[in-house]
Amino acid sequence: MNLLKPVSAFNEWTDHFLTRYLARKGRLKRFQLDAYRSYGTATKFYIKGRLLGDRGLQPQTATDSGWRNFRSMVRRFNSREVTGADLVAELPDGSQHLVTTDDEGYFTLILEPHALPAPSAYLWYPIPVRVARLPAPFATAPDTTVQAIASVLVPPPGAEFGIISDLDDTVFETRATNILKMLARTLLSNAHSRQPFDGVADFYRRLQRGRTSRPDNPFFYVSSSPWNLYDMLEEFMALHELPPGPLLLRDFTISTPKTTPPPGVTGSAAIHFAHKLHEIDDILTTYPALPFVLCGDSGQEDARIYREVVRRHPGRIRAIYIRDVQVPARALLVGPIIEELGRESVPMVLVADYAAAAAHAAGLGLVG
C-alpha cells in the first residue's frame, strides 16, 4: 500500500479546514486570482488559473537575503485555496463562461471564440476573468471584486516550428540530481538571485526568430516545478529576456501518474515523467501541422521523455537539445537514446553549452 496517498489526503483536509476556519474568523479579507499564461488557436483557447487568499508576497529584489527569500517561499507554499468559487471569463463577442474552482483552488476552461480579440502583445490575446461568487464562509469577506487577465498564446500562420523547453537545469541551475542542493537553491533564492546559463537566452531568442528574423516561433515551458512558483518563474523570464511562453507546471500534491512510465521509472520520477509527457502530447495535438524543437537536460528524465514523444508523434520533431549537467552516470544514459533516435533521423545532441547548441541549430537551418 502506498502510504503517501493517505498522508497527502490528510494534509489537504487539514489545510482546507484551516482555510475555512480563518475565513469564518474574518482573517481572509483579500483574494488573489492567478490567471496563468496559456495557449490556443484561432478557434480554441485553453485557460488555467487559481484562486487563493492573498499570500502577502513582497516585491523581490537582488539584495534580498536568503532568510527573506525563505519566508517568501513559505508564503508561496502555505497558500489558502478558495474551493467552490464561481468565476466568469468573458470573450470579445460578449459571451460569458462560468467555471468553478476545484479542491485546490484551480480552474480550467476551454473556450471557442468566434473572433480573436485584439492582441495585448505580439502573439498574446487577453481574456478577462473575474470572481462572480464566493462560497460560504468566504462570502462574508469584503473583497469580492477580484479579477485578472488570462493571456493566451496563438502562434501565427508564419511560424516555422515550436519550441518546448524544460526549466530546471535546462535554463537555470537547480541541481535536481542532488536533493539537498536543489532544496537550498529553491528555498533561498528568488527571481533576481537566480541566473540563467550562459547563452541560453540568446539561443532561445534565435530559435524564436528562426530563419525569418520574426519572433513567430512559439515557446512552451514544461516543468515539474509546482504552480506555487509561477510568479517567481514568470518574473525570472522577464528579467533575463527569455522568450515569453506558457508556463505548464504541476500541482504540488502527490498524484497518480497520468500515463504509464517506462520500466524502472517509479515514485516521484514517474509523476515527473507522466506530467511532462501529458503536457507535451497536448501541445503537439493542438498544433498538428507544426514541427517542434525540444530542449532539456541530462539531470532527470528529459531524454527518455523526448524519445517517447518521438515515438508518439513521428515526423514532428526537428531536433532535441540536451544540456549536459556534468554527471557522468546521467550522460551514459543519454548516449543509447541518441543512437536510437539517430536511426530514426531525429538528431538528439548532448551539449556542454548553448554555443554548441546554436552552432548545431544553424547547421540544420533552424536559425539564421
DSSP string, 190-254: -TTT--BPTTHHHHHHHHHHTTTTSS-S-EEEEEEEEGGGHHHHHHHHHHTTPPP--EEEE-SS-
336-360: b or e for each residue (b if 16 or more CB lie within 10 Å)? ebbeebeeeebbbbbbeebebbbeb
pLDDT category, 10, cuts 50, 70, 90?
Answer: very low
Instruction: Considering the chain, tell me which residue range(s) the CATH 2.60.40.1940 domain(s) occupy.
Output: 29-153
Sign of CA dihedral 288, 292, 298, 300: negative
pLDDT, tens only, 150-204 = 999 999 999 999 999 999 999 998 866 566 777 777 777 888 888 899 999 999 9
Beta sheet of 219-226, edge-to-edge order:
247-250, 219-226, 162-165, 292-297, 317-323, 348-351
Of 225, 226, 245, 246, the closest CA to residue 172 belongs to: 225
pLDDT, mean of residues 241-260: 78
Mean pLDDT of the chain: 85
**pLDDT of 27:** 53
Res. 4: pLDDT tops 70 = no
* pLDDT beyond 70 at 77: yes
Considering only residues 80 and 293, tell me which one the structure prediction assigns the higher pLDDT: 293
513521428: which residue's cell? 314
Residue 7: per-residue pLDDT: 37
pLDDT for 84 beyond 70 = yes
Q: Given 3.40.50.1000, 2.60.40.1940, 3.20.20.140, 3.10.310.30, which CATH number is that of 29-153?
A: 2.60.40.1940
Tell me the percentage of the chain whose pLDDT exceeds 90.
56
Instruction: Please tell me the predicted confidence (pLDDT) of residue 161.
Output: 98
- For the four alpha carbons of 77, 79, 84 and 85, in that order, the dihedral sign comes to negative
pLDDT of 6: 43
Given a cut of 60, is residue 144 above it in pLDDT?
A: no
Is the model's pLDDT at 86 over the cut of 50?
Answer: yes
- Residue 176 or 341, more confident: 341
Mean pLDDT of 214-219: 96
* Residue 46, pLDDT above cutoff 90: yes
- Cell output for 3: 502510504
The answer to whether residue 365 scores a pLDDT higher than 60 is yes
Residue 327 has pLDDT above 80, yes or no: yes
pLDDT of residue 256: 53
Mean pLDDT for the stretch of residues 67-87: 86
> In Å, how far are 75, 150, 223, 275 from 252, measured between CA atoms?
14, 22, 12, 12
More confident residue, 263 or 24: 263
Helices and strands, number each (H, E), in the chain: 9, 14
pLDDT for 45 beyond 60: yes
**Which CATH architecture group holds 162-364?**
3-Layer(aba) Sandwich (3.40)
**If you average pLDDT over residues 261-275, what whole number do you get?**
70
Phi/psi of residue 219, each to 5°? -105, 145
Predicted confidence band at 295 (pLDDT cuts at 50, 70, 90)? very high
Which amino acid is located at 32 in the chain? Q
Highest averaged pLDDT of the listed ranges 44-58, 82-96, 344-358: 344-358
Tell me what pLDDT residue 208 has.
97
* Model confidence at 3: pLDDT above 70: no
Residue 8 predicted with pLDDT over 60: no
Which residues lie below 8 Å from residue 52, measured CB to CB, with a gap of 6+?
Answer: 31, 32, 34, 79, 80, 81, 82, 105
d(CA 363, CA 141): 60
- Residue ranges, CATH 3.40.50.1000, the chain: 162-364
Q: What are phi and psi of 328, to 5 degrees?
A: -55, -40
Distance, in Å, from the CA atom of 249 to the CA atom of 252, rounded to the nearest integer, reads 9
Q: Kindly state the DSSP code that residue 174 receives in the 8-state scheme.
A: -
Please report the pLDDT score of residue 300 as a whole number.
Answer: 83
pLDDT at 263 over 70: no
249 compared with 75, residue with greater pLDDT: 249
Q: What is the pLDDT of residue 73?
A: 84
Percent above pLDDT 70 for the chain: 84
